[in-house]
Structure 1
Amino acid sequence: MDAVGLSLMNEAVGGSEKCVSAVREAFGAAEALMIRNVSQVAKDFRCCQTPKDHQDQVELMQSLADIVMGTVQYNEESVLMSISDLCGVMTNQSAAYNEEREPYQRLVKLSQIYRSSSEEPCLDVSHEKRVKDLMDTTVQSERRAERQWTYQTCTEFGFYQTCEDASCPFSGMVTLRSQTEICLELFGISQNSLPGRVAFTNRYYGGDEPHAHRVLYVNGGVDPWKELSVGNRTDGGEEAESVFIRDSAHCADMSRGRVTDRRSLKNARQEIEKHVESWLKTAQQEKKRTE
């Protein structure tokens, strides 16, 4: 989540220090109000139910953080809102925002915008219901992809998005412990076993030094997931290299090209094509030599 905060400050994509400060203040206010009057918070964010315990409160804080994290992750690839749009809601001082000047009220506004794009009439914050839905293993389950992803996090790579230091712009209620409780609830996998499972994955695949060749590691400067990728690897010569697109987000290079794409993204796609073309030619030559 620290990486999300850095992207919210990136002026090249419409972010600012003022924006991340407003987000941090909004989440702090939401958490403080929830301690005093949880019913009011549930009403403000139009929750389907009033959080009945700590786990439900964490679900609410996680859902609100997901709005910001999802925006940052896809930025200009998103169909709803970009970082610039989000920061506009959180910091705009125009007459249209006179009634929502406080960061908390701006976060409420932000959640309203996202909910308006969803078919869900309210924000479901029941941890019990979430677990029940994720226990559904039928192919018709609406959460089948989330269940599969969760299983991978519990058995292979972790990748938890936590908020446990002063620089995090979201709620400190979203901890590693709260994130990993689901492993035991869904799969009977203890939290204590996770470090060993992650360590095995890193040993097996090579961690920061993967045992691979002819791989291109492409990362966007705005993408929070770049922190978990392989960067600046050129030790394999043309066999393994990296491409860094400073102002693009998650997997932007894989999307169809658009006239509005940034120059850095267009240049990166050309570089990717060059590598793939070169490796295909090399593979063809190697095949001919073995025939």
Structure 2
Amino acid sequence: MWLLLLLACSAEALRDLAPPPPALPRSARSDPVEGWLSVRLNHFKASNNDTFRMRYYYNDEFATDGNVVIFVGGEWAIHPAWAQAGLAHEVAEATGAALFYTEHRFYGDTRPSADTSVEDLRFLTVDQALGDLAQFIQHVKSDSFEDGKYKDGAVALVGCSYAGSMATWMRLAYPHLVDAVFSDSGPLHAQEDFPEYLEVITEALRSQGSAACVASVADAVQQLQALLNTATGAQTVSDMFNTCSPIQAGAPLDLATFFWFGITETFAYLVQYATPGDIPDACAVLTDSSVSDPVQRLATWVRSQEWTQPCIETRYSVVVAEHTNTSYDAPQAVMRLWTYQTCVEYGWYQTTSSDDQPFGGTVPLEYFHQMCRDFFSSYFDENLLRSGISRTNLLFGGLTHLPDRVVTVAGGLDPWAPMGPTAAHATAQAPVYVVPTVSHCRAIQSTATSETQALGDAKRAVIDHLVYWMTGQRNAAPASTAGALAAIVVAARMLF
């Protein structure tokens, strides 16, 4: 899941950029309180009493009934706007709850160590992050916080992408602390090779663009592979795509870096964060009949994207140097941290190993294996990766068991959807709403900002579930949306 930091990081395939701050309503409180809580560095070793400061934001504008809503932070720096607007804000209003936004250990200003050396990163695991949330909930519900104002209230968690995974797993690991959960686009099944990601990218290009768009990309990639076999061809490609330095023909790691940073991840960004019209506009360039060369069409589109500015880095040695910088303030610090989590717990490597995508075999699984070893040490090999993936799926059940009182929304064109629950996994107490034509993390924004009717209906259904699980009261769907909502409910195979 990569993608979530307001576009602050490069290499989208290995992290989830933070959800852009929501637009604030006029009535929004202007300045939620920033708070800090000392939490344990190691929640699973009693003799280790080390602590660090965990940052959070707190908004009590709706706190009339003693309930608590927590917007869970993931692999990004938290922003106060999410304590002022968005779906979690609406849930807080509907349940008379205080709204909190918590920051994940090692990200943002929540820094448990002096730097991100491998020795310290052993404390960067989802188990420890869930322990932080558990300790935070206990603190908020204690007499020491606001004189016990929230000690008898219900607690709901809201999260998107990896933070949605965390929210779901909190209900599984700490059911006595969490009463209700909403996960937007949260993957639950860890998997080493994740070719399905680019398969969904391909389907999005085909369904919202055209078959000709996919064919043009495939033709361009095939010609690029041939060009990159020679020094002259590699120089031509470097000039066309504006690489940061000349591509070295015959250097497998450099070539994979070019295709990953410059091609597949540019399409990943297009689809994962597409708004209506983005994909058709891209395909119009990629199939422009006035340009006969498919490579030139691809280069023109790639160079126009913010993701590839100011140039495309193709030198694998530079990528390694950037991501072995252990400063929290290094430009690629977030990428380093999230890569570590993938190397020890998740995998989720978006390779080109599938035949049902137009990018050839340009980004193999071995590229990511090499990255784990080179970013951290030779100890971080395939055996460690596979052991970590097995442990994650054993510990949290993957897709074999959805905990109760968790409502999930998945986008029909979300590249992460294959790793998350679908309608087939839904139960009466774990409903899943699959919203056609939308992509990643679209349901955490407010109900007023919904790109389709079905998405708006799904958001209102999510609020209804959380209200019921927190208060025991049901909200009736508005008459104008009842029919569309019923269709989604049937598709999700759930009972409400």
TM-score normalised by the shorter chain: which range applies? 0.7 to 0.9
| Correspondent of 1:273 among 463, 481, 487 | 463
CA distance in structure 2 between the aligned counterparts of 1:218 and 1:58, rounded to whole angstroms: 33
Deviation of 1:213 (Å): 2.0
| Correspondent of 1:104 among 281, 284, 295 | 295
Higher strand fraction (1 or 2): 2
Q: Is structure 2 residue 255 aligned with structure 1 residue 65?
A: no
Report SS of the residue matched to 1:194: helix
CA distance in structure 1 between the aligned counterparts of 2:363 and 2:348, rounded to whole angstroms: 14
CA distance in structure 1 between the aligned counterparts of 2:288 and 2:470, rounded to whole angstroms: 50
How has the CA–CA distance of structure 1 residues 6 and 201 changed in structure 2, closer, same or farther, with 3 Å as cutoff? same
How has the CA–CA distance of structure 1 residues 119 and 168 changed in structure 2, closer, same or farther, with 3 Å as cutoff? closer
CA distance in structure 2 between the aligned counterparts of 1:170 and 1:231, rounded to whole angstroms: 27
Instruction: Give deviations 1:110-140, integer Å, cap 9, x for gaps.
Output: 11211xx369432221111111111112121
Report SS of the residue matched to 1:240: coil
- Give the conservation status (yes or no) of the 8 Å contact 2:303–2:309: no
Map 1:216-227 to 2 at 5 A. Answer: 216-227=407-418
Q: Is structure 2 residue 221 aligned with structure 1 residue 24?
A: no
Q: Is structure 2 residue 430 aligned with structure 1 residue 240?
A: yes
CA RMSD of aligned residues (A): 2.0
Deviation of 1:84 (Å): 1.5
CA distance in structure 1 between the aligned counterparts of 2:328 and 2:252, rounded to whole angstroms: 31
User: Which residue identity is paired with 1:42?
Assistant: S
Q: Which structure would you say has the larger RCO, counting Cα contacts within 8 Å and 6 or more residues apart?
A: 1
TM-score by length of 2: 0.52
Deviation of 1:250 (Å): 0.4
| Correspondent of 1:229 among 416, 420, 427 | 420
- Give the conservation status (yes or no) of the 8 Å contact 2:288–2:297: no
Deviation of 1:49 (Å): 0.9
Instruction: Give deviations 1:38-58, integer Å, cap 9, x for gaps.
Output: 111111111111123221111
CA distance in structure 1 between the aligned counterparts of 2:402 and 2:356, rounded to whole angstroms: 34
How has the CA–CA distance of structure 1 residues 138 and 22 changed in structure 2, closer, same or farther, with 3 Å as cutoff? same
Instruction: Give deviations 1:60-100, integer Å, cap 9, x for gaps.
Output: 011211111110111118xxx7212111111233xxxx2x2
| Number of the residue aligned with 1:287 | none
Q: Is structure 2 residue 442 aligned with structure 1 residue 252?
A: yes
Q: Is structure 2 residue 291 aligned with structure 1 residue 87?
A: no
Report SS of the residue matched to 1:170: coil
CA distance in structure 2 between the aligned counterparts of 1:244 and 1:118, rounded to whole angstroms: 28
Report SS of the residue matched to 1:218: strand
User: Which residue identity is paired with 2:211?
Assistant: E
User: Which residue identity is paired with 1:72?
Assistant: V
Instruction: Give deviations 1:244-286, integer Å, cap 9, x for gaps.
Output: 0011010011234566711121111111111111111149xxx
| Correspondent of 2:339 among 136, 150, 156 | 150
How has the CA–CA distance of structure 1 residues 160 and 259 changed in structure 2, closer, same or farther, with 3 Å as cutoff? closer
Deviation of 1:192 (Å): 3.0
CA distance in structure 2 between the aligned counterparts of 1:260 and 1:214, rounded to whole angstroms: 24
Higher helix fraction (1 or 2): 1
| Number of the residue aligned with 2:320 | 131
Instruction: Give deviations 1:4-63, integer Å, cap 9, x for gaps.
Output: 1111111xxx32211111111111111111113211111111111112322111110112
| Correspondent of 2:237 among 41, 45, 59 | 41
| Number of the residue aligned with 2:20 | none
Report SS of the residue matched to 1:159: strand
Report SS of the residue matched to 1:216: strand
CA distance in structure 2 between the aligned counterparts of 1:207 and 1:260, rounded to whole angstroms: 29
Structure 1: tracts of 5 or more residues without a match: 284-291
How has the CA–CA distance of structure 1 residues 187 and 282 changed in structure 2, closer, same or farther, with 3 Å as cutoff? farther
Report SS of the residue matched to 1:224: coil
| Number of the residue aligned with 1:159 | 348
Deviation of 1:149 (Å): 1.2
- Give the conservation status (yes or no) of the 8 Å contact 1:49–1:124: yes
How has the CA–CA distance of structure 1 residues 42 and 257 changed in structure 2, closer, same or farther, with 3 Å as cutoff? farther
CA distance in structure 2 between the aligned counterparts of 1:168 and 1:214, rounded to whole angstroms: 37
- Give the conservation status (yes or no) of the 8 Å contact 1:61–1:171: no
Report SS of the residue matched to 1:219: strand
| Number of the residue aligned with 1:191 | 382
Q: Is structure 2 residue 253 aligned with structure 1 residue 55?
A: yes
Query: What is the aligned length?
Result: 268
Map 1:168-187 to 2 at 5 A. Answer: 168-187=357-376
TM-score by length of 1: 0.86
Report SS of the residue matched to 2:431: strand
Q: Is structure 2 residue 405 aligned with structure 1 residue 203?
A: no
| Number of the residue aligned with 1:288 | none
User: Which residue identity is paired with 1:279?
Assistant: W
User: Which residue identity is paired with 1:70?
Assistant: Y
User: Which residue identity is paired with 1:87?
Assistant: C
CA distance in structure 2 between the aligned counterparts of 1:267 and 1:22, rounded to whole angstroms: 36
CA distance in structure 1 between the aligned counterparts of 2:311 and 2:237, rounded to whole angstroms: 13
CA distance in structure 2 between the aligned counterparts of 1:30 and 1:258, rounded to whole angstroms: 44
- Give the conservation status (yes or no) of the 8 Å contact 1:205–1:211: no
User: Which residue identity is paired with 1:8?
Assistant: L
Deviation of 1:182 (Å): 0.7
User: Which residue identity is paired with 1:272?
Assistant: V
